[in-house]
Chain A
Amino acid sequence: MKYTFIYIALILTISLNGQIALHKDTIRISEVVISGNRMSSEIPGYRKESLDSSVVTSYSHRTVAEVLSLKSGIFIKSYGMGGTATPAFRGTGAGHTQIAWNGININNPMLGQSDLSLFPVGMTDNIQIYFGGASMTLGSGGIGGTINLETKPDWKNETSATISPGIGSFGTYSGLVSLKTGNESFQTNTRAFYYSAENDFRYLNTVNSSDPAWETRVNNQVKNKGLMQELYYRWQKSVLSARIWYQSSDRNLPSSMLIQQQGTPERQSDESVRAMFSYNLDKSASVLYFTGAWLMNRLDYVNTLASIDSRNISNSLSFKAGAEKNILTASKLKLAISEELNEVNSNNYGGRIIRNTTALSASVESNLSDRLGTNILVREILDEDKFLIPDFSAGLQFRLLDAEEDILKANISRNSKIPTLNDLYWSPGGNPELKNEYAYIYELTYELRRKISSSINIKYSVSAFRNTIKDMVQWRPGAYSYWTAENIRNVSSMGVETSLSAKYKLNKFVSVLEASYSYTRAYDDGSDSEKNQLMYVPENIANASWQFIYKTLYTSWKLNFTGDRFITADNTKSLPAYLLNGISSGYKIKIKDSLIDLNLNIDNLFDVYYQSIAYFPLPGRTYSLKLLIQLNK
């Protein structure tokens, strides 16, 4: 199912290839609208957005956490530079956002979540955000949504080498190199990434003694590196791909301002190897695909002050196979089976743990007319030896006016999330009897695209959602002196998300305005609940950016607003809202077949003092300079 979309998208880009070859100036534009074919290339009724290649290129040295927090309406809870960053999508927890790599879930099976600060944007080609019910098309568990990191082939008959060094404030050095070559049948892409930072920024410690004092953040060093090799082979209607992705990260973790550290008491080392092999056969009336992946995650955490030496290795084997066939006149039947085998060796569990999960899904997607599309999906999960209550999702898409792009989408889903291995087997307190969590997701979206004039294009969307999550796992004190996990929590979240994008293009001048706002209410359900907003879930988030491109010069102004966040369950204490301004300017020039791009980026331009997690300071104005040299043949 996932590959169908990619493959269709690839076909469409190939048909535009001729144009790209003639007009080689690379203009940064937001996603190009392909009208008419839209219904067939997207599952009707669901909302999906992409941070396309231009965003990926400009944020290539940054992490997925940073690009999502600056460019999407997803709130990222961050412990600071190099610290853990997890998504809180629509008020849900980090475990309710699935992170996928080309459709395969890569969340750490022990934690059931991913640290987005470990994923450099430069290792992806495209970042897709599946909102709420849309995540059902990829898998289960993405109650808030799924973020899919795509690495895909670019079937051009050319060789391209890229080297991109970067330097930034607080001792930051980074570098990205890639080599891509191939022809219409074969592609190889190699990329490597390095990032190291001292993160020794200055901040005002207002809480440790009666006089606020300027301090320098210590024990905050980060060293990340990664390597990815992709091979693609295409013949007739088949595509074979093999990918391997290695990442490693070493971080010293600083404490809050209230805790004075001696030496480096807390540090974490993460290492992952992800290998993926897939086959995709796309005949016009049917599609067949198969993906196998091996995912290895090693996480070692040491806290000398707390006498913690935690060593964890998880191995997962993941298979996904599916078939799609056109049936009746304008419908498609999709069947998919997925199988995930997890194995964990950890000194926090009683012994070696193995878990098997199988899921079978069937869906029918129909384009009942050129204005109406529907999708119905059913998924049955076999968790170990338990059959769960089936999940389902129903989506409807209606084009309001014939000639224009006004689309109304609605969907309702039941989405299950199986407990994480830590919830089940952590010693002490893990509960192997835990049931799965499940949620009902309701979503209504209106999208609009208009070409106002020959040079102005606008895109607007507004979406309302409601989630009710039941049997949520919560750790609480049990009968003994340690805490245990139980399915006792129920959470409701609801809100509105809206975004606008306006592009103006005239000759060599391009201007793009993007703005988004989301309102989220999330609270514990229960008969005696006071419906207090969950801690660290901001009610209001807004992002805006204004980009100008003129010939070889480009500049953009970025604004990010995060509203108040409560830091107590009874909502009596909160962290104040903050507005961050940033500017990114550069010079991009093409010399024959080469591309040179020099970029200066300033974050937190006005040196705002703010916190994402209480008492964890964040840096003020931050500079970074990046050079990209791309040689094409």
Chain B
Amino acid sequence: MRKFFILVSVLILVLSCTKINDKPIDTYLSGSGVFILNEGNFRSGNGSLSYYSYDSAKIYNDLFLNINKRPLGDVPNSMVIFGDMAYIVVNNSGKIEVVNKNTLLAQSTIDDLISPRNMAIATNSKAYVTSIYSDSIAIINLNNNSISGYINLRRTSEAIVVSGSKAYISNWVGGNEIMVVNIATDKVTDSIQVGAEPESMVLDKNGMLWVLCNGGWMRTTPAEMNIINTGTNKVVKELVFPDKQASPSCLNIDRNGENMYYLDGGVRQLNISSSALPSSPLIAESERYFYKLGINPSNSDIFVTDAADYQKRGYVLQYRKDGTLLSTLTADIIPGLMCFK
């Protein structure tokens, strides 16, 4: 009888051990972590959502499909968390999936967007969505998850940063301007000329808008960092990249608004008080193909994605803010932008 009890308790222990390893993803989704949007191949419809959980130190893939029983769509580009909801902008499916930020259950879908790229929360009830092929940005009513209107910029848009009562939108593809929109009136009030192809922008703690201009794929004009005073909407400083072949992207800033990071043959770090661009990277690229960069606002961990050959599953690399590699994770096809929770 005793032997039987021991056997049964050992069995229960063993079985419960396996249960602990297979704890449902829901437990980890509600904790702190990083969402990674895997773009997939254009028109192949194989985009997906991954999540790296700090609590379990593991990455979970194909979450949208597993939870909602349907594919996420074609080229999911970016994700924004606001309130209880997360908004996933799916570029080539022309939609935004509104999901619960802790369960990822789909709540509603905002359709009929034209190649949407990035979304920024303008007020508690309003958001703007940029478009890489339409001349207008869409205004989203966050109360009923619908498109309430458009703002005609007369040019395409990519990056968007909200500062107080203004929204700054970059005209990336073939452009060189930052459009300024008054959030209260939904009208374009100004346009600021910067370097060629402004790809990403961040706001620092002094209210200065740093714009990373890629230089254009033709490589005829060099890349630049333009600093705009949001009070005057004027460019106050320009840092030109010395190497004309440089193709920097993905400007990010930490939560303090002091240290910036971007991709340029590796991950480079730039402090807002610096007068010159860093001459060497903080994290070298070596054999990898760095695609997108994200900085965790809570601990300044650096997350970089490596799209590898753009066919097989890519990688997500986690570094401490000093550049020490913490983990190498396997995501899905072409892991791209990230969203931190």
Residue ranges of A at the interface with B (Cβ–Cβ < 8 Å): 206-210, 255-260, 262, 305-307, 428, 476-477, 479-482, 535, 567-570, 573, 614-615
Once A210-B106, A258-B73, A305-B114 are accepted as A-B contacts, the answer to whether A614 and B44 lie under 8 Å apart by CB is: yes
Give the shortest distance, in Å, between A408 (CB) and chain B (any CB).
Answer: 40
Is A615 touching B70 in the complex (CB atoms < 8 A)?
Answer: no
B247 interface neighbour in A206, A481, A570, Cβ under 8 Å: A481
A489: nearest chain-B partner, CB-CB? B309
- Interface presence of B69 (CB below 8 A): yes
In the docked arrangement, what's the CA distance between A260 and B74, Å? 11
In the docked arrangement, what's the CA distance between A209 and B72, Å? 10
Once A568-B46, A573-B46 are accepted as A-B contacts, the answer to whether A256 and B74 lie under 8 Å apart by CB is: yes
Once A482-B217, A614-B46 are accepted as A-B contacts, the answer to whether A210 and B70 lie under 8 Å apart by CB is: yes
B70 interface neighbour in A208, A306, A479, Cβ under 8 Å: A208
In the docked arrangement, what's the CA distance between A307 and B214, Å? 21
Cβ proximity bits B282-308 to A, threshold 8 Å, 1 near / 0 not: 000000010000000000000000010
**Chain B 57-96 interface residues, beta-carbon cutoff 8 Å to A:** 68-71, 73-74, 92-95
- Interface presence of B322 (CB below 8 A): no
In the docked arrangement, what's the CA distance between A164 and B307, Å? 54
7 tightest CB-CB pairs across the interface, nearest first?
A: A615-B45, A569-B311, A569-B312, A258-B45, A258-B74, A481-B217, A258-B73
In the docked arrangement, what's the CA distance between A304 and B247, Å? 28
A567: nearest chain-B partner, CB-CB? B46
In the docked arrangement, what's the CA distance between A476 and B71, Å? 26
In the docked arrangement, what's the CA distance between A257 and B111, Å? 14
A307: nearest chain-B partner, CB-CB? B133
Once A207-B70, A209-B70, A569-B311 are accepted as A-B contacts, the answer to whether A256 and B217 lie under 8 Å apart by CB is: no
Tally the A-B contacts, defined by beta carbons under 8 Å: 77
- How would you classify the secondary structure of chain A's contact residues: helix, strand, loop or mixed? loop
Is A428 touching B217 in the complex (CB atoms < 8 A)?
Answer: yes
In the docked arrangement, what's the CA distance between A437 and B219, Å? 30
Give the shortest distance, in Å, between B52 (CB) and chain A (any CB).
Answer: 19
In the docked arrangement, what's the CA distance between A567 and B102, Å? 30
Is A255 touching B112 in the complex (CB atoms < 8 A)?
Answer: no
Give the shortest distance, in Å, between B135 (CB) and chain A (any CB).
Answer: 11
Give the shortest distance, in Å, between A205 (CB) and chain B (any CB).
Answer: 10
B45 interface neighbour in A256, A262, A569, Cβ under 8 Å: A256
Q: Which of B43, B46, B68, B114 has the most CB of A within 10 A?
A: B43
Cβ proximity bits B211-250 to A, threshold 8 Å, 1 near / 0 not: 0001001110000000000000000000000000101010
Is B92 touching A259 in the complex (CB atoms < 8 A)?
Answer: yes
**Chain B 81-139 interface residues, beta-carbon cutoff 8 Å to A:** 92-95, 106, 109, 111-112, 114-115, 133
A257: nearest chain-B partner, CB-CB? B45
Give the shortest distance, in Å, between B290 (CB) and chain A (any CB).
Answer: 10
- Interface presence of B333 (CB below 8 A): yes
Q: Which residues of B lie under 8 Å from residue A257 when comparing CB positions?
A: 45
Give the shortest distance, in Å, between B38 (CB) and chain A (any CB).
Answer: 11
Give the shortest distance, in Å, between A287 (CB) and chain B (any CB).
Answer: 48
* Extra inter-chain contacts (11) besides given A256-B43, A570-B313, CB under 8 Å: A206-B70, A207-B45, A258-B71, A259-B93, A260-B93, A479-B247, A481-B249, A567-B46, A568-B333, A614-B44, A614-B45
Is A305 touching B46 in the complex (CB atoms < 8 A)?
Answer: no
Is A476 touching B46 in the complex (CB atoms < 8 A)?
Answer: no
- Interface presence of B340 (CB below 8 A): no
Q: Which residues of A lie under 8 Å from residue B217 when comparing CB positions?
A: 428, 480-482
In the docked arrangement, what's the CA distance between A617 and B333, Å? 23
B115: nearest chain-A partner, CB-CB? A305
Q: Which residues of B lie under 8 Å from residue A573 when comparing CB positions?
A: 46
B219 interface neighbour in A480, A567, A569, A614, Cβ under 8 Å: A480
In the docked arrangement, what's the CA distance between A206 and B71, Å? 9
Q: Which residues of A lie under 8 Å from residue B219 when comparing CB positions?
A: 480
Q: Which residues of B lie under 8 Å from residue A480 when comparing CB positions?
A: 217, 219, 245, 247
Is A210 touching B289 in the complex (CB atoms < 8 A)?
Answer: no
- Interface presence of B310 (CB below 8 A): yes
A573: nearest chain-B partner, CB-CB? B46
B133 interface neighbour in A255, A306, A568, Cβ under 8 Å: A306
A479 interface neighbour in B43, B73, B245, Cβ under 8 Å: B245
In the docked arrangement, what's the CA distance between A423 and B114, Å? 30
Q: Which residues of A lie under 8 Å from residue B309 when comparing CB positions?
A: 476, 569
Q: Which residues of A lie under 8 Å from residue B93 when comparing CB positions?
A: 258-260
B68 interface neighbour in A210, A479, A481, A569, Cβ under 8 Å: A210
Q: Which residues of A lie under 8 Å from residue B106 when comparing CB positions?
A: 210
In the docked arrangement, what's the CA distance between A260 and B110, Å? 12
In the docked arrangement, what's the CA distance between A438 and B74, Å? 35
Q: Which residues of A lie under 8 Å from residue B46 when comparing CB positions?
A: 567-568, 573, 614
B289 interface neighbour in A207, A259, A477, Cβ under 8 Å: A477
Q: Which residues of A lie under 8 Å from residue B310 when comparing CB positions?
A: 476-477
In the docked arrangement, what's the CA distance between A257 and B115, Å? 16
Is B74 touching A259 in the complex (CB atoms < 8 A)?
Answer: yes
Q: Which residues of B lie under 8 Å from residue A476 when comparing CB positions?
A: 309-310
In the docked arrangement, what's the CA distance between A210 and B114, Å? 22
B214 interface neighbour in A208, A262, A481, Cβ under 8 Å: A481
Once A256-B45, A477-B289 are accepted as A-B contacts, the answer to whether A209 and B109 lie under 8 Å apart by CB is: yes
B111 interface neighbour in A255, A260, A568, A569, Cβ under 8 Å: A260
Q: Which residues of B lie under 8 Å from residue A258 when comparing CB positions?
A: 45, 71, 73-74, 92-93
**Chain B 12-44 interface residues, beta-carbon cutoff 8 Å to A:** 43-44
Is A260 touching B112 in the complex (CB atoms < 8 A)?
Answer: yes
In the docked arrangement, what's the CA distance between A210 and B104, Å? 13
In the docked arrangement, what's the CA distance between A206 and B65, Å? 12
B114: nearest chain-A partner, CB-CB? A305
Q: Which residues of B lie under 8 Å from residue A482 when comparing CB positions?
A: 217
Q: Which residues of B lie under 8 Å from residue A259 when comparing CB positions?
A: 43, 45, 73-74, 92-94
Q: 9 pairs across A/B with beta carbons < 8 Å? A: A209-B70, A258-B45, A258-B92, A259-B93, A260-B95, A305-B133, A480-B219, A568-B333, A569-B309
